[in-house]
Amino acid sequence: MSGPLPVAPTTTRLRPLGLSDVRITGGFWRQRQDVNAEATLAHCLDSMERTGWIGNFHAAADGLNRKQRPGREFSDSEIYKLGEAMAWEVGRSGSAVAAAELSKLTEIIRPAQSADGYLNTAFGQPGLPPRYGDLEWGHELYCYGHLIHAGVADARAGANSGLLEVAIRAADHVCRTFGAGGIDGICGHPGIETALVELFRLTGKAQYLDQAAIFVSRRGRGRLADTDFGRDYYQDDIPVRDARVLRGHAVRALYLAAGAVDVAVETGDDALLDAVIAQWDATIARRTYLTGGMGSQHAGESFGDDFSLPPDRAYSETCAAIASVMLSWRLLLATGDPRYADQAERTLFNVVATSPAADGRAFFYTNTLHQRTRGQLPSANTVSPRPSTNLRSSWFEVSCCPTNVARMLASLAGYVASADARGLQIHQYADAEIRTELDSGLPIGVRMRTDYPDDGTVTLEVSDAPPTAVTISLRVPPWADQRATLTEPGGSVRPVRAGTAAVRRVFARGDIIRLKLPMKPRWTVPDPRIDAVRGSVAVERGPLVLCVESVDLPDDSDVGVLRVNPATAPVDRDGSVIVTGELVEPPHARWPYRGAESPDGSASHPIEIPLRPYHSWAERGPSTMRIWLPTA
């Protein structure tokens, strides 16, 4: 069919193209995929060997009595996510190294599995707590979710390390244990729902879909104990189909929503799908950062109230961004609405790409939009607490983000394009070779060439064309509305609106379609209800959110005292975007609130302020940074 697919729905409006059908060949994302393959996979493996998280599997296999197990209770999931990343890497590049490492990992994982399929190195072993005694915090089902995703990837990518069999045994155990008549419970951390549906899609066995549907429908009814953050922390406050907005722990909320979409499209449950769509709409309109980041609260790693989006205390977890892309992609396939691809693009360029360092060996866990202090660079091989640093860290006590970035980058080609009965849809722009068969069985192929996001021109050259009329469509982001142009084969040029620009005809090999997106940097203004950024503007250029870093200012000036002049348009110059403004020297007040009649007392002098892509910030050492720029 389409080659290795991260998401393979059977009934959605659009049919995704997998890693054999879409090959990213160059540019922004290919460069990151190469770093991922060459550095990140090994870095994650090394880190988990060093921290003992891999050794936990040996200990479990040997039945050791352990009082001092290293790692958090869910550290197994990181090994599975790494396994999934390795499988996609095999699918992406055919890497023999990744295949060999994955086989080794599988041989480490397999012996730790009990005869009945149970598999977790933190529970059910001598000296460790019993199985399923702590569904709130134990994460056992969550870990299975990542195991199953890895097993499915292993099979789909043709790695065939044997991880699928391990995953199936675990999934069968889950169905027996948590199915009708079993434990009437759910996991504190969603994640198994998408995995079970994907296993159903791979194997065709309805029991996995049924079990996923059971988990989705059980949630929201107070089965889990209350927490200091409330039951919304793990979405056990309101049933999925009744909720109106995403809330609580952002990663949990987004994984659950993705699983609910999967269940909805496979069971034809339109009401459930509509509920998630409405939640997505509300979340995008009121609870999402300009970067696409989600989760504004450090406490509980959670969504805050509507419009409570502080840039300086943004949590915006990398994993939440990845989960958001997973959800957007599923909704795009289900509905065909390009808004979901717009959101995925924003999130990919401005959060997912922000997390990993250029060398692929350090990561942001949180992705703040305003860094007030310079912070300190953690030393290599340090295990950092999650929120304690605002510079990229080698590894974390809870280290979900590095392996999540790895699996997303390795499978990214699976989020680029889709097909349907009428033709081919391009959702994301990158140098790529795309070739698939239409429902008719006829082939269609295009070569996509672009320097996006540096440049706004995307050229499609038809490399394979059926002899019948088909539609090739390209997404036009909202910021390009009416300023983008489309050149059809033959040369006719027309302006296009935000949404989808489509060309329908009988294509010939060599036909060229050219989309030109306007890349002039532009001022962006926030909704007045986002109190935390009132009186501020941001600059975007194409899909990229820009920021100012103190290292680019004279004397490494604090970005806290900048003002910009939005009456003057931002301009491109020497690889930066320049805006004009002033540097303020605030008065030395003993009390930071003054009577309106007393003078401000601050002085200022004009300055040119260079802005650069947010995704590359903090690559040059400690710096203060901000995306939202106060106006003069």
172 contributes a contact to its own copies by CB under 8 A: no
Smaller CB distance to its own copies: residue 32 or 626? 626
Q: What is the largest CA-CA distance in the chain?
A: 78
Length of the chain measured in residues: 632
Q: Is residue 459 helix, strand or coil?
A: strand
Query: Given the rule CB under 8 A, which of 79-87, 405-413, 496-504, 582-590 is the region that contacts its own copies?
Result: 582-590
249 contributes a contact to its own copies by CB under 8 A: no
Read off the tokens for 105. 């990992």
Q: Give the burial class of 549: count Cβ atoms within 10 A of its Cβ; 0-12 exposed, 13-18 middle, 19 or more buried.
A: buried
630 contributes a contact to its own copies by CB under 8 A: yes
Q: Which of 533, 547, 609, 611 binds its own copies (CB under 8 A)?
A: 533
> Quick one: which H or E segment has residue 154?
helix 140-156
284 contributes a contact to its own copies by CB under 8 A: yes
Closest CA to 353 of 429, 409, 407, 415: 409
Q: Distance (Å, rounded) from C-alpha 539 to C-alpha 534?
A: 15
526 contributes a contact to its own copies by CB under 8 A: yes
Listed in sequence order, the DSSP H helices in 118-230 are: 140-156, 163-178, 192-203, 206-218
Q: Distance (Å, rounded) from C-alpha 322 to C-alpha 311?
A: 19
Smaller CB distance to its own copies: residue 298 or 505? 298
Q: Distance (Å, rounded) from C-alpha 485 to C-alpha 518?
A: 9
Spatial strand order in the sheet of 417-419: 15-16, 417-419, 423-426, 470-476, 499-505
Quick check: 524 and 539 in contact, CB under 8 A?
yes
310 contributes a contact to its own copies by CB under 8 A: yes
Output the smallest distance, CB 531 to its own copies, in A. 7
Output the smallest distance, CB 570 to its own copies, in A. 10
339 contributes a contact to its own copies by CB under 8 A: yes
592 contributes a contact to its own copies by CB under 8 A: yes
Query: Given the rule CB under 8 A, which of 50-58, 182-190, 298-306, 511-519 is the region that contacts its own copies?
Result: 298-306
Output the smallest distance, CB 537 to its own copies, in A. 7
Quick check: 455 and 494 in contact, CB under 8 A?
no
Q: Is residue 481 helix, strand or coil?
A: coil
Query: Given the rule CB under 8 A, which of 57-65, 354-362, 535-543, 573-581 is the region that contacts its own copies?
Result: 535-543
312 contributes a contact to its own copies by CB under 8 A: yes
Cα first-last separation, the chain: 57
150 contributes a contact to its own copies by CB under 8 A: no
Output the smallest distance, CB 580 to its own copies, in A. 15
Read off the tokens for 198. 């994907």
What are the φ/ψ torsions at residue 540 (nearest 5 degrees)?
Answer: -120, 155
Smaller CB distance to its own copies: residue 572 or 585? 585
Q: Interaction with its own copies in 115-144: which residues (CB under 8 A)?
A: none
**β 423-426/470-476 pair status:** parallel
Per-residue mark of binding to its own copies, 198-227 (x: CB under 8 A): ----------------------------xx
Binding residues for its own copies, how many (CB under 8 A)? Answer: 70
93 contributes a contact to its own copies by CB under 8 A: no
571 contributes a contact to its own copies by CB under 8 A: no
374 contributes a contact to its own copies by CB under 8 A: no
Q: Distance (Å, rounded) from C-alpha 485 to C-alpha 408?
A: 31
Query: Given the rule CB under 8 A, which of 123-131, 327-335, 383-391, 456-464 is the region that contacts its own copies?
Result: 383-391
Residue 534 is classified by DSSP as T
Q: Distance (Å, rounded) from C-alpha 489 to C-alpha 90?
A: 36
Q: Which of 86, 256, 532, 625 binds its own copies (CB under 8 A)?
A: 532
Quick check: 537 and 562 in contact, CB under 8 A?
no
Q: Which of 385, 443, 606, 621 binds its own copies (CB under 8 A)?
A: 385
399 contributes a contact to its own copies by CB under 8 A: no
Smaller CB distance to its own copies: residue 336 or 387? 387
Output the smallest distance, CB 107 to its own copies, in A. 34
228 contributes a contact to its own copies by CB under 8 A: yes
Closest CA to 505 of 543, 562, 462: 462
111 contributes a contact to its own copies by CB under 8 A: no
Site of tokens 């959670």:
302
Q: Which residues bind its own copies (CB under 8 A)?
A: 226-230, 281, 284-286, 288, 290, 297-299, 304-308, 310-313, 339, 370, 372-373, 385-388, 397, 478-479, 522-538, 560-561, 566, 584, 586, 588-597, 600, 602, 628, 630
